[in-house]
């Protein structure tokens, strides 16, 4: 199974998108080391990225393992939070430590200590001022639909099975109207931390029909708001089912409001694919 561009199955087998983390060739001098960690993880089994009392979270597992390896409390900052059930191929986190444990040994230790749903891809030194969230220049998310799904019991944990077909031409037309600066307030959920503005630059919004029948949505933007990709994917599915006009997405983005109610796509179909630091997203 697969397409010329690696599809879902290649990604699930470990053919992850490239990293764009500014690892330093040599560690900067100083008593406190600054390190960056790139991670892949399955969202299933975790209550999201962020630490929550009494819940299993990705951040909690990573901090516990690093604290053990570094023999001191370690706190990590991610490029952004992912919700319960959302997956990542290229999450990036940064942290500081006094430990002198070499980066390759620390990476091997993490791979041994972390639960099976988390795979540390890379770890290395960065400049002291590096912050995984504040230095990010953009991100790419993938979302996977499975139209005309029948026996979905095996695929459902990895995508959004839909019993009806999807009009891909209409969905593509809807995405064409979302290029450039867009107000994502129309697709965000209460509780977002937009910063100074809810507007983001969308560099690429494309739909790919994969050889195995799945439909892949790829979104690359300067940033996203809480649930914005899942809400947008839900509205896009409505377009594909003929429940919304293709122009409706652009109308909502222009108004900065959810003019047309719609579903939030389920979390298991969403993957944080790549975070950009050294170059502009494209």
CATH label of the domain that carries residue 60: 3.30.70.580
145 lies in some domain: yes
28 lies in some domain: yes
4 has a pLDDT exceeding 80 = no
For residue 5, what are its two tokens?
């561009």
10 lies in some domain: no
pLDDT at residue number 194: 64
63 has a pLDDT exceeding 70 = yes
pLDDT, one tens digit per residue, over 200-247 is: 999 999 999 998 889 999 999 999 999 999 999 999 999 999 999 999
249 lies in some domain: yes
**Do 99 and 149 share a structural domain?**
no
Work out how many domains the chain is built from and give that number: 2
**Do 181 and 52 share a structural domain?**
no
**Do 39 and 153 share a structural domain?**
no
Work out the average pLDDT over 48-53: 96
- Which residue, 125, 149, 165, sits at the end of a domain? 125
Cα distance between residue 102 and residue 88, in whole Å: 26
Work out the average pLDDT over 184-193: 80
The CATH number of whichever domain residue 153 belongs to comes to: 3.30.70.660
Cα distance between residue 221 and residue 216, in whole Å: 16
1 has a pLDDT exceeding 60 = no
193 is catalytic: no
130 lies in some domain: no
- Supply φ then ψ for residue 25, to 5 degrees: -70, -35
132 lies in some domain: no
Bridge pairing between strands 215-221 and 138-146: antiparallel
pLDDT band at 5 (very low <50, low <70, confident <90, very high): low
**Do 148 and 95 share a structural domain?**
no
52 lies in some domain: yes
- Which residue, 125, 152, 187, sits at the end of a domain? 125
Least confident range from 44-58, 109-123, 252-266: namely 252-266
**Do 259 and 164 share a structural domain?**
yes
Query: What is the DSSP secondary-structure string of 144-195?
Result: EEETT--S-TTTGGGSEE-SS---HHHHHHHHHTT-EEEEGGGG--TT---T
- Which residue, 125, 154, 176, sits at the end of a domain? 125
**What is the span of the domain harbouring residue 88?**
23-125
Contact 82, 139 (CB under 8 A): no
pLDDT, one tens digit per residue, over 89-133 is: 999 999 999 999 999 999 999 999 999 999 999 999 999 999 999
Q: Which candidate in 3, 20, 83, 183 is catalytic?
A: 83
């Amino acid at each position: 199974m697969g397409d010329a561009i690696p599809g879902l199955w290649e990604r699930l087998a470990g053919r992850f998108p490239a990293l764009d983390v500014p690892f330093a060739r040599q560690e900067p001098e100083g008593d406190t080391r600054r390190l960056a960690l790139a991670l892949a993880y399955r969202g299933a089994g975790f209550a999201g990225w962020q630490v929550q009392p009494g819940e299993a979270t990705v951040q909690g597992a990573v901090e516990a393992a690093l604290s053990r390896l570094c023999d001191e409390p370690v706190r990590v900052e991610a490029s952004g939070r992912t919700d319960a059930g959302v997956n990542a191929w290229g999450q990036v986190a940064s942290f500081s430590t006094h430990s002198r444990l070499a980066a390759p040994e620390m990476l091997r230790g993490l791979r041994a200590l972390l639960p099976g749903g988390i795979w540390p891809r890379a770890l290395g030194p960065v400049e002291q001022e590096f912050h995984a969230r504040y230095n990010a220049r953009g991100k790419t998310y993938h979302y996977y639909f499975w139209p005309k799904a029948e026996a979905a019991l095996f695929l459902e944990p990895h995508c959004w099975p839909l019993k009806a077909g999807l009009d891909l031409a209409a969905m593509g037309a809807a995405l064409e109207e979302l290029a450039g600066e867009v107000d994502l307030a129309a697709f965000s959920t209460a509780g977002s931390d937009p910063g100074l503005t809810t507007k983001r630059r969308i560099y690429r919004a494309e739909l790919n029909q994969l050889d195995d029948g799945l439909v892949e949505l790829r979104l690359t933007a300067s940033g996203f708001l809480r649930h914005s990709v899942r809400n947008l994917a839900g509205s896009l599915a409505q377009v594909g089912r003929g429940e919304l006009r293709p122009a409706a997405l652009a109308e909502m983005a222009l108004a900065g409001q959810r003019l047309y109610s719609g579903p939030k796509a389920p979390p298991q179909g969403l993957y944080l694919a790549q975070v950009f630091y050294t170059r502009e997203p494209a």
